[in-house]
Each structure stands twice: as C-alpha cells, then as structure tokens.
Structure 1
Amino acid sequence: MLPTTVSNRALLIAKQWPEPASTAAGRRTLDILDLLSDAGYIIEIASPAQPTPFQAHTGYSEHQIEVNDSSFDDWVRALDPTLVIYDRFMMEEQFGWRVRAQCPRAVTLLDTSDFHSLREARHLALKTGQPLNLFHPVAEREIAAMARCDLTIMISRVEMDLLKTHFGLPDWQLHYLPFLVREIPQPDTLPGFAEREHVAMIGGFKHAPNRDAVSWFAETVWPQLRALLPGVECHVYGAYADHAMQRFHAPKAGLRIIGRTDDALATLARYRLNLAPLRFGAGQKGKILDGWLAGTPTITTPIGAESMAADDAWGYPLTEEPDLFAKIAADIYQNRERWQTVRDAGTRALVTNFSHAPHARAFIARVDSVAADLDAHRNRNIWGRILRRTEHRAEEFMSRWIEAKNQLPGNR
C-alpha cells in the first residue's frame, strides 16, 4: 500500500536501474538522489527496465513500472510526488504526459546525463565523414522533452552554451550540475610513480564512444605506443565486454581485455597511466574523473577533455593524432617529473570543478526556487506550454482515428 502524501517526495523515472560500478551515468544518478535525500526528500526510484545483478543497492524505495500501461496513472497519483526526475528524454516521452495529468503540481526535471543528440550527431559525422549536423530528429525529440520540463540538468557547460546559442533554450530552463566529489584525495596518500606499472583504459562497453575508443586505440595507437614502451601492457576494463570487443584481446601484443571491475579507483591506482582515447561523445567523462581520483595521470583527446578542464590545464597538448597521442603517453609514462605534473593537474581540476558543497547548495536552491513560484516559471515557458497542449500531434491522430473508425463496416 502506498503512503499518503508526504511533502518533498522525489520520484526518479529511470531508463535503467543505476549501475554505478558499470557506468558513470549510474553514479551521477545516485549523486542527484543523494543530494535530494540530504535536503529532506523521500526518494522513490521507478524503472521499466528489468533488474540486473549489478544494479546498486540504493536503500531507496524501488518500483517496477510498465510502459504503455495505464496502471502507472493510478500508481503515480497515489504516490503524489512533489518532484519528478526523468533519466533521459525517452523517459519523459513515455511517462511525462501521464505525470502531468495525474500530478500537475509536481516540479519536473530532465537529467540528460549528457546531451544525447550531440553524441549521436558526432558519431554520425565520424562514421560518414560528413559535417556535424546538430539539427536531426533525435535533437528535435530531446529539445522537446527539455521544453516540456520545468528544468533540465546539464552536466556540461559546453552543452549548455550550445543549447542556448543553437537551439534557443533560455538560461532559466537549464542548470549546471557536474560530477560531484565529496573528498578529494591527497596525491601523497596514493601509490607513486615507481609503485605503478602498465597503462589502463576503463569504460562500459554498452556506451558507443567507449567501443569506438577501444577499436581505434587497438588498431592505430597501441602498435605505436607498444613500440615506444616495450614490455608495457595495456589492460582494458569495462562492463559488458561482448565478442566484438573481445576480438581485440591480444596478450602476445600486450593488449588485454579484462572486463568488469568492481572498484574502478582501486584498479586504476595500480597503473601508471589512464588512457581515454575518445573520438566522439558528450558530457563529462567518468573514466577521466576516476583517473584523477586514483591519482593516475590521464591522457585523453579534445573530445575527452571537453567539459572536464580547460584545454591548457592538462600538462600536455590534447590531440587525437595516433602518433602524437602515443608519443605523449610514452613520454609521460617514462618521465617521473612530467608524470607528477600531469597528476597534479588532475588534482587541481578536481578542486576547481567538482567540489561537492557549492554545487549541492546551488542545485537544491534552484529546485526550491522553481517550486516556490511554479506558475510564474511555467508561464514564461511558452514553447513548453504549446508542446504540452498539442501532445504528440493529438489533433492529427484524432482526425486519423475518426477517419479509420468511419471506414469500419456499419459506420459508412
């Protein structure tokens, strides 16, 4: 039996059950829920996805829901959340109209995790060699979901600027919330240069940028890096390493596909370098954050560096040229002084960009501000009001339904 209405009840509608040990997105989801819990919200998680053996034991109430099922309406009306968070725009498409009908006073947030349509556009441009096209059908769906919500949480300032300049979203509909770090480790408490060996890569294999990074690295970078560092191995970690990724497992060439690790920080702390050779993607990169937290210098590309730290804050030039990437990695691997410089740059980035307290306060204050004057906030959002009124081209589909009904035997 569902509880009676309680003030400050937050409902997350999640595309997948959070797996913080498998994906950075799962860890971010739990960060947001923990922020709300610390602020006094009762937390509920609902998902249409099947449970997995790797999902987090959150301690929050969890509910299995179904798509395209009106039983959700009665359930969410009884739950009566004051705040609803959609984990990615697909969940807003599936459940947003139901939430608006049953819980019209609930503040609605969209957490994009990264700007999905930007990642898709970059992937397509990489595959086809065509110029980047931001204005495609996935973008239309994602921007529409943003417009229908009261607030969209963005993990990247680069993407916020893109949404404002290219898509015309106003600043008051967006809120920046990066990865959050409660405790920043001191480098001298972690293994040093001489205590580490080999290089590592990490990232879940359900994520297309990670699959491409492993493929590109194995085929173009690793042969050059291995020649510069004879005897050094690269160990690749990530959940859901399927057959297509296992084909790069080549122990004789020093490249090993290890698979899942339960503790990314402890794993990375054993290695001298953390490699993130990303050629496309969006948002912030959990693999880079983990490298910094483990005190492991991270070598990445311009795409990897985007939204994590300024281009001149890494201690080396950013590149995705295979030969230069290999030379930079080999030099830092062998040079203790350069290694420490790059490691210290990562620690500074943690302090400057990811400290928990200021971002936590700003996020809760923003949610409270929207909730306190919800009608005025929604009245400013004319495009959201229009999209909510003409839900899914309702007039067209009603006309089509009547036309089809009129064609049935007995109605002619």
Structure 2
Amino acid sequence: MVIAVLFISLLLLIVLGVPVAFALIVSSLLAVIVDGQLPDLVVLHRMVGGMNSFPLLSIPFFVFAGALMNSTGITQRIFDFANALVGWLRGGLGHVNVGASVLFAGMSGAAVADAGGLGAIEVKAMREKGYDAGFAVGVTAASSTIGPIIPPSLPIIIYGVMAGASIGQLFAAGLIPGLLMALALMAMIAWYAKKRNYPKDHAFSVSNCTTTFQRAFLSLMTPAIIIGGILFGIFTATEAAIAATAYALFLGTVVYKSLTFKKFVALSIETIETTSIIMLIIAGASIFSWVLTTQHVTEDFTQWMLGFTDNKIMILILITLILFVVGCFMETIAAITILTPVLLPIAISLGIDPVHFGVVMVLNLMIGLLTPPVGMVLYVLSRVTKVPFETCAKATIPFLIPLVLVLILVTFIPQLTLWLPSLLY
C-alpha cells in the first residue's frame, strides 16, 4: 500500500507538471502519512541529512566557475583554439564542436552548462558557415554530454556521495570513456561530412594554432588545475571546485578584465538559483530513496532481479534499459539519487565495481538528456538557438548511435573505466 501511494502519487504529480523536487517530497510525505508508523518530521530530518555531505559543497563552486567561464570570454578562447586545431578537417566546425566540449568538460562538469554556454557560440558559427541548423544542433547536443563524463562532473559527485565511492577514482574512471565519446562523435561527423560533401572551413595553419593557443593558454590551465590537482592528490574535489572558482575570478577580473561588478552579482544570483534547485532535488530524492529502503524495496528488487537471472551480462542489459527509460522521463540528479541505492546493491552482488557502475550509470543518464520528453539539453539548445524543440530532437537522433556504442563498450569492458583509477590509486 505504501509503495503504491509513493509511486502513483509521484507519477501523478509529474504528469500534472509539478517540479520534480516537490513531486518527490510530496509523494514521500504521503507515503509516510499512509504508513502511520513514523512521525512526519522524519521527512525534514532525512531531507537535511541527504544534503549534509561535504563533497556536495563542490556543486555551487563548479556551477559558479562554469558561469564565470561562459561570461568572461574564456569559452570563446577555447572555441577559437579548437577551431584552429581541428577546423581544417572536412566538416571542420563539427569537429571543433566536439573538441571544444572536451576542453570545456574539464571546467564545468555539466551538460546543460556546456549546451547553454558553448552551444550558442557553436551553433551560431556553424550556421554562419552554411551548415544546416539540424546538423549544428545535433552535434552540439551530443557533444555536450561529454562534460559530465570527463572530470570534473556534478552527476559523478552526487553518485559518489550516494554510493560512498571515491570521487577521485570516479573522476579518473570517466576520462577514457569521455575521450571515446569524442572520438566516436568525430567519426560520425566525418561520415556526415563525406556524405553531404561539407567543405573544409579553413586550411591548417601552425601560426593560427600558436596564436589561439597563446590566447587560450591561461583558460586551458583551468582543467589542468582541476583534473591534475584531484588525480595527483593535491586537493579534494571540493577544494578543486574552490580553486577553479578562484582562478576563473582571477582571469575575469585581473587578466581579461571582462568581469564587472554587475555581471558578478548576476552570476552569483544565477549560481544560487541553480544550486538551490539541485540541492532541493537531492533533498527530495533522499527522502524518497529512504522510504524505498525502509519498505525493503531495494532488497526485494535485488532478489527479484537475481531470481529472474543471475547472468551478469543480462543483469547489466536490464539495468541499462531501466536507466535509459528513466533518463527519458526524469532529471539526472533525481534519477541518480533515487536509483543508486536500488541498483548498486545488485551490481555489487554480481561483482561489478562501484566505480565502473557509476560511470555506466552517468553515461546512460546523459544519453537520456538527449531524448524527449524531458531532454533538458534539447530544451536549453532550443531556447538559446531559437531552433524548434522538435527539430532539435529529430536532429539529435543519429548522434545517439555513437554514444550508445560507447556505452556498450564501457559497460562490458570494465578496464576502460578501471585502468586509470587502478594506475593512479
């Protein structure tokens, strides 16, 4: 009865358009009331407990650092360098799109930040060069999913908190899969470019590479500080976020002198709003997952799955399908917070490393950002590029193919994720 109330009320509230965070909180509260064995105040205690985690302090700093980079000229410098580096290939700006996302991934750790910041620049540049809007948006949407896989990554931080896994190891585990995503997307772009006879945007120039690298050098030091500092144990993920913010402030105020006080205040307000939304979702999902645990749903689901089949490959396929379907309908952070306590015990019982499982989970949910009806990246790109949502969704479908292929490789070849963490840790 309690579980029926929990899930039916959640689905009903989501269908009615209630924000996910409030839907999670209200459905959990109704379940607690129906259960009648716990005081209602336990909901507040569990919500606060879900947010009371030191690694979560990194979220506002990474969000703020990404906002600073988008608004102080750092993003444009990265795009110019990527253009000089790979823009000479056939279908050049498509490759530039992916390359810029890889570089930006080492700074923001959020697909929506990539789509909203770099996306507007990339789509505008591609359309001015004669690329059709669908191709430009499809490439931009697909490449933005690289951000949460290559460290730093907000979804991976949240998974690490929920799973009790090392965030440093998770960051290291995402590097190779992220680069594989980039290579797969570039292969798809090359095929498109040949099929549609896209021209080379410009000739390769060593002097252009040198000039743009010099302009972007200080900007490119940001991922070096973040990733290098974490992987080599200089500081934690939270400290890396603070260092990234301080460095972005230094670039914006002292070096580039493009950050005004008015802009600083606006970015601070934007960061507070974004962080508040994320933390409210985490709080709501924490109480929701706690209700699932107290009602023994996690144990029952684990036993059911293992009773259905104990074949590791089949279980991984089933979990992948579950994550894919959930990713189509639920916001990433909420999905991670709810599903980690449910699916992780199954993975561990089969001998799957939690670090490997975390990368698989996040990659799967990132693909969900490109699929309707939720498709957050599609909505953001539609808004910043003025391309209809339906066009964005249709144009992105072909670029799901290379991402799914990488997901399959990462899922069934654990060493692609575990080799680097084992080497460094």
- TM-score (normalised: structure 2): 0.26
Question: Which structure would you say has the larger Rg?
Answer: 1
- TM-score (normalised: structure 1): 0.27
The structure carrying a bigger strand percent of its residues is 1
The structure carrying a bigger helix percent of its residues is 2
Using CA pairs under 8 Å that are at least 6 residues apart, name the structure with larger relative contact order, 1 or 2. Answer: 2
